[in-house]
Amino acid sequence: MLRTIAGLYLRHEATPVPRPRILELARAAGVSAPAAQTAVSRLIDRGLLEPVEPATLSVTSPAMAMFARGNRRIFTPRRMEHDDRWVLVAFSLPEALRATRHQLRKHFIQLGGGLVSAGLWIFPEYLRSEVLEVLGALDARSYATLFISQTPDYPGTARQASAQWWDLDKLAKLHRAFLTTTAKLDASSTDEQAAYLGYVVLIDAWRAIPYLDPGLPDQILPNSWPGQESRERFLEISASFKDRAAEHAARLLRPAAG
């Protein structure tokens, strides 16, 4: 939860934030004082927060870059249409780069890639730039070839292929868990404090989903797929809560004198 708060609010502060105000942001999001203290220490250990002056903290530069990269993924989730293009990534790494191979697999899963076969991954074409970033960061670009395809010729049905290439059961569970967690959030509420609490809960429950779920088209997904419902709920509640939540966070970060 505190990681979510750091990404939403702390990183936009021009000066270091007093630790008590960070704890107040966490308390307003439903985190107990002891848990908030522990969370702050963990974020310092993990390199997301750093002490700048006595009793003040700032978001680190690497964490700022990470949060910036996540902006598009989290807040404007994409969804493929039936005629959108795919990018296929074929690579072969020598045995000496086995560790790199494992890292590629890890990062490709986190990008929402589907594993077609050993050394062959498939993504929506709009993720091409992110795929290239991963290949470049792992010094694996020279081992990979990318192909752009309009219509794959599936070995069976498109739905059978998607069930083999992606862990759709896991993705469906993530969407259903999000719907359960946010079931009581009321987008029509006008209370500023409730908007802050609801918005932090919403983002914390949602932020991992658009990384793991690439936004596959309906035609290759199972019937009664929960992804569209969760996406619509996220967009509706986010639009309602965002501004009022930011106003409440600003009051907690810069309380009026006296």
Could you read off the pLDDT of 126-171 as tens digits, one per residue? 999 999 999 999 999 999 999 999 888 888 999 999 999 999 999 9
Among residues 125, 149, 173, the one where a domain terminates is: 149
- Per the structure, the complete domain to which residue 233 belongs is given by 165-253
Band of residue 239 on the pLDDT scale cut at 50, 70, 90: very high
Q: Is residue 74 part of a domain?
A: no
Q: What is the mean pLDDT of the chain?
A: 93
Q: Is residue 211 part of a domain?
A: yes
Question: What pTM value is reported for the model?
Answer: 0.90
For residue 222, which phi and psi values (nearest 5 degrees)? -65, 160
Domain count, the chain: 3
- pLDDT surpasses 60 at 258: no
In this structure, the strands spanning 120-124 and 17-18 are unpaired
State the CATH number of the domain containing residue 98: 3.30.70.240
